[in-house]
Amino acid sequence: MLGAVASFSAMAVAGRELSVEMNTFELMMYRSIIGFVVVNLLILKLGGFAQIKTDRFVMHFKRNVVHFAGQNLWFFGVAVIPFSQLVALEFTSPIWVILLAPIFLGEKMTRTRIFAALLGFIGVLIVAQPGIITLGAGHAAGLGAALFFGLNVIYTRQILRYESVLSVLFWMTLMQSVFGLILSIPGSIPIPSVEGGQWVLVVATCGLTAHYCLTTALKLAPASIVAPMEFVRLPFITFVGMVLYDEPVVWAVGVGALFILGANIINISAEKR
């Protein structure tokens, strides 16, 4: 999960830099095509294509539709609102996972998990400051991304009962390459500049490492434990925004982060017992 945190943070910086050259559909197309090439090389090295053969195409399709939608909303939010606000809104996603895991995955809902979800949600509200900060399209995109990401975690854990991590990555990059291409064609696909091409490579590489780390974590532990561990990304991405883009750091970010991290610690401690 620490690998996923680092990868998603790098993607946020690259996504903002690329927002002046291409829209989110085009970015997702380039990212997925490069990722597809890399995944195929890994498959050849690690045992061949027999391991990605599947009879659960519908499950892969459902997972990739929600992930593609969430990722496009996330890249839009990266470009228009401060990193700390976007990540805070995005962090309603683990709360959805905790609440939905019993329904979709059969994981037990405990009082501790409910309390952790509530505590984390309070922290998110403190950071987002609804009613104090003017909310716009970027904030709506962040909330929408959180919902789709929550569903993606649920569907990923479902499919990992039957499929390998490489199979999930293969079908993700293939399907999302097609989704991105179809949605990019109407606007004429741009060729990135030299600098833009470098940022595209960052997005593609970190997209793969992020999902490899996340899917591996989900294979090793329950979704309601894995997802809240990403909360450590909030203070980290806030620092990145401050250093690179002069985004202001306000008291609410620190206080909200304490609530969120506290919820994470409570949830993990209870699970270890």
Domain extents in the chain: 2-272
- Rounded to 10 degrees, the C-alpha dihedral 44/47/53/54 comes to -120
Check residue 32 and give its pLDDT. 92
Looking at the DSSP bridge assignments, the partners of residue 130 are 133
Task: Give this prediction's pTM.
Answer: 0.81
In this prediction, residues 235-249 reach a mean pLDDT of 86
Which of 103-107, 141-145, 203-207 is least confident? Answer: 103-107
Confidence band for 72, pLDDT divided at 50, 70 and 90:
very high
Confidence band for 37, pLDDT divided at 50, 70 and 90:
very high
Confidence band for 40, pLDDT divided at 50, 70 and 90:
very high
Looking at the DSSP bridge assignments, the partners of residue 133 are 130
What does the chain come to in residues?
273
What is the residue-averaged pLDDT of the chain? 85
Looking at the DSSP bridge assignments, the partners of residue 257 are none
Burial of 112 (0-12, 13-18, 19+ CB in 10 A): middle
Task: Assess whether pLDDT exceeds 90 at residue 120.
Answer: no
Among candidate residues 169, 264, 159, the one with its CA nearest the CA of residue 218: 159
Distance CA(159)–CA(141), nearest Å, equals 26
Task: Assess whether pLDDT exceeds 90 at residue 75.
Answer: yes
**113: which residues sit within 8 A by CB, 6+ positions away?**
98, 224, 267, 270
DSSP string computed for 35-98 = HHHHHHHHHHHTT-GGGG--S-HHHHHHHHHHHHHHHHHHHHHHHHS-HHHHHHHHTTHHHHHH
Check residue 256 and give its pLDDT. 79
CA-based torsion, 207, 210, 216, 219: positive or negative? negative
